[in-house]
Amino acid sequence: MSSWAGARGLALNESGRKSLRAAYVLWFVLGHVGAHRFYLDRKATALAMPVLFVLSAAATTVTRIGGLGLVTLLLWALIDAALIPSWVREHNDGFH
């Protein structure tokens, strides 16, 4: 099995169900840009996370106000960590 096939298997099994483990790995590694939200089909709000990250990071180089955006993003990601199990369950309930 190729590494791509293994990664795909972690993210999505044959029945179309989403993996809680994959969602948390994405959250941990790329949570600041909403990867876990894209994976769990929450694309509308997922788009806001990378935009907020880029704008806040850029603003931090000029003014301290960018730090507020980064703190907001951190809090948002921490709240997401608590919500991920219910999102996975909600998604997978549609595949029974």
**pLDDT tens digits, 16-46:** 899 999 999 999 999 999 999 999 999 999 9
**pLDDT tens digits, 57-76:** 999 999 988 999 999 999 99
20 in Cβ contact with 84 (< 8 Å): yes
Tokens standing for residue 64: 């301290």
C-alpha 68/C-alpha 76 separation (Å) is 12
> Please, what sign has the CA dihedral across residues 72, 91, 5, 46?
negative
Domain boundaries, the chain: 3-93
Q: What is the pTM assigned to this prediction?
A: 0.79
**pLDDT tens digits, 78-95:** 999 999 999 999 999 986
C-alpha 24/C-alpha 27 separation (Å) is 5
Q: Tell me phi and psi for residue 28, to 5 degrees.
A: -65, -40
